[in-house]
Amino acid sequence: MAKSYYKICVLPGDGIGPEVTAEAIKVLRATGLEFEFLIREVGGSSYLKNGDSFPKEAREACEMADAVLFGAVGHDYAPYDIPRRVLDYLRREKDTYVNLRPMKLYPKIECPLKLPEGRGIDVVVVRENTEGESVKQSGVVGDRVGSDMRIITRFGSQRLIRFAFEYARSHRRRKVTCVDMSQLLSGDKLFREVFDEVAEWYPDIEKDYRAVDVAAMHLVSNIESFDIIVTSNLYGDVLSGILCGLIGGVGMAPSACIGDRFAYFEPVHGTAWDIAGKGIANPIAEILSAKLMLEWLREEEAAENIEQAVTMILEEGKVRTPDIGGTSTTSEVGDAIARKVEELSKR
């Protein structure tokens, strides 16, 4: 049940994270819902200041919040794994086993594909987020051999695949495609077996299969054949990367990391230090991630207002950042979307 007041933990992180999360907060305020934003510093910048990339006050804010809005972490002056400790908490400790990545081509965004007249791109990737290659079992033997263990379990596969079918049903989607390499890999054979078992519970949803290499090919040659893709960790990351290239880049790609009782929401992009502080980062991925957060909180009307606002602003074509062919600043895009959301919320 939706509430009238939400406590949101905001973890801006590093690079462009603080810039884009500020615009998402602006848009959330414009919905007319009541929020308390608990903004906490994490990542490389926090580590460099106080030696802790995920301080106690940040963890406590996550625990008391209704949801977490996340930017990005990573810093050249901090060891790679240290800023990412916050992700260990958000993903593994909080067991956010679903990485939901809705990939949509918005109006007047250039696509490298020649799409049929009136056809767009609207593909949802449901990617496993806690198993597969993310299991920390790897190493290097001498200087000649590197190894990485990949774990796929029946339990993990079943809950992920069930989420994909439930999402299809609740969002009136027609088909779920299982992407794997079950002809070669034991873990993928198990994943396919579980997919078939779960699909029997959803006779109203079409089931489909692709090998991962064929799926990659079809994303650029037959994209209309996809609706929802459910797949393991690494495959999902690669396939959604291809999709990012088709919808305007990572600045247009939101994501949600969802568990049974906890979720956080982040753009697909990283810290992008090359443009940090220049005021040109595209905030739309973060804003659309905030929209996914509202959906998870069952604030469907406010979420739809954000969706419509983004669509309308891009359709007008006047306000957009350089990565999608414009000259606007990060804050100008956020301002325009927030104004449109406010207008829609008053109707």
Query: What's this model's pTM, rounded to 2 decimal places?
Result: 0.95
pLDDT digits (tens, 9 = 90+) for 209-221: 999 999 999 999 9
Question: Nearest Cα to 90, choosing from 3, 169, 11, 197?
Answer: 11
Domain residues of the chain, as ranges? 1-102+253-347, 112-246
Give the confidence band of 130 by pLDDT, cuts at 50, 70, 90. Answer: very high
CA distance 231 to 268: 17
- Strands (DSSP E) found in the chain: 5-13, 34-39, 67-72, 98-104, 122-128, 138-141, 145-148, 175-180, 206-211, 228-231, 254-258, 263-267
* Homologous superfamily of domain range 1-102+253-347: Isopropylmalate Dehydrogenase (3.40.718.10)
Q: Please give the pLDDT value at position 135.
A: 62
Predicted confidence (pLDDT) at residue 57 exceeds the cutoff of 80: yes
Structure tokens at 172: 């009136």
By the 8 A CB rule, do 29 and 287 touch?
no
Mean pLDDT computed over 202-210 = 98
Name which of 7-11, 128-132, 144-148 the model is least confident about. Answer: 144-148
Task: Output phi, psi for 57, to 5 deg.
Answer: -65, -30
Mean pLDDT computed over 258-284 = 97
Q: Please give the pLDDT value at position 160.
A: 98
- Report CA-CA distances (Å) from 226 to 104, 178, 200, 300, 326: 12, 10, 20, 25, 30
DSSP for 214-258 reads: HHHHHHHH-GGG-SEEEE-HHHHHHHHHHHHHHTT-GGG-EEEEE
Q: Please give the pLDDT value at position 80.
A: 67
Predicted confidence (pLDDT) at residue 279 exceeds the cutoff of 80: yes
Predicted confidence (pLDDT) at residue 140 exceeds the cutoff of 60: no
Q: Please give the pLDDT value at position 138.
A: 54
Query: Could you check whether 1-102+253-347 and 112-246 share the same CATH topology?
Result: yes
Dihedral sign, Cα of residue 172, residue 177, residue 178, residue 180 = negative
Predicted confidence (pLDDT) at residue 232 exceeds the cutoff of 80: yes
pLDDT digits (tens, 9 = 90+) for 64-78: 999 999 999 988 777
- Strands (DSSP E) found in 271-338: none
Question: Nearest Cα to 262, choosing from 78, 18, 93, 13?
Answer: 93
* Homologous superfamily of domain range 112-246: Isopropylmalate Dehydrogenase (3.40.718.10)
Predicted confidence (pLDDT) at residue 141 exceeds the cutoff of 70: no
Q: Please give the pLDDT value at position 303.
A: 98
Mean pLDDT computed over 266-274 = 96
Q: Please give the pLDDT value at position 147.
A: 77
Stated as kind and residue range, the H or E segment containing 150 is: none
